[in-house]
Chains A and B, each alone.
Chain A
Amino acid sequence: MTDGGRMPIASNADVVAVRQQVRAVAIEAGMSLIDQTKVVTAASELARNVLVHAGGGRVTVEVVDDGRRRGLRLAFSDEGPGIADVEQALVDGYTTGPGLGLGLGGSRRLVDQFDLTSAPGEGTTIVVTKWARG
């Protein structure tokens, strides 16, 4: 992995690498198989969005601990066109491309915390957190 858990997202191979890294860190954080799969799938969606809709960016992957439990925090950021109507983008089936339009809404449901910051022309930042249960 690159410094401080930061990984570039500039190609399909990078999306695969992000997925594999998130899986490895999720195991390290003690997540169950189902939680690993959820967070890996969310990471795959958001990384691909960065690549497809913003032409590239990066993600920071880190283990977090709130004193009671451990979890995973992923921060995606790009300098792409940004999202004008965030509410609309989160609606299932809404897409401006050839995809299914389920990535944003779906990944929000797959994680515990989902913070999206975006404005037209200012890029997009999405920070998600998934806690390990039990």
Chain B
Amino acid sequence: MPDPILEIDHLSHEFAGGNGIHDINFQVYAGEFILLAGPNGSGKTTLIRHLNALEHPSSGGIRLYGRPVTANLMLTRKTIGMVFQDADTQIVGDTVAEEVAFGLENLNTPRAQIREKVDQTLSRINLSHLKDRNPATLSGGEKRRLAIAGILVMDPEIIVLDEPFANLDYPSSRHLVETICRLNRDGQTIIVATHDVEEVITLASRLLILDDQGHLVRDGFPAELLGCLDRFGIREPCFSRMGYTAPPWQT
């Protein structure tokens, strides 16, 4: 097996009152599509924030290519792209193109190169036609894809998405699933945190389950873990409850 990109090693983050995440261990390998599932409050967001060193762990640590993520914050944050849950509070640009350029500007990339990469990324994610729009006027699904474009433009190794399907209608969800899927097929490593696995479980290559106490209780193939989802407070996908092995709309 090749070396992992990320190694999460006995990571704990204790909030006052016993909440938080406790003794989390797993590795992330190139090209994986990891689904991080757990009920609300299980610590998915907390765990994800640790991945690019936005929080300090109470104990344990995370290594990126064998070195602590805190060793080179710029490299860590460039390598691990983070798409947060709330679309409105992560958009910083006045137009779609500026929003996508933001990360590259922070890396002090020359202006001509920024223009080129922004155009490439926008067409990759099907947002070219909205280039000059004010992001505030976009739909929920478009905002989510814009947030992905803003990360993608920095060429991250891993893209982490926190509850990407929250508040999206069915067509927007489908579109987003297709986008994420296409990125993964192109070799992009993906981690999706969600409390509802319905949309993506059949596409993921690996399923991690956090229980409501913040412990990592399962790590395995999605198909093999379908049956125990309910036990940890995660809704079992419809197709599985009805006895299919794959969702009818995908076969």
User: Are both chains from one complex?
Assistant: no
B-to-A contact residues, CB < 8 Å: none
A-to-B contact residues, CB < 8 Å: none
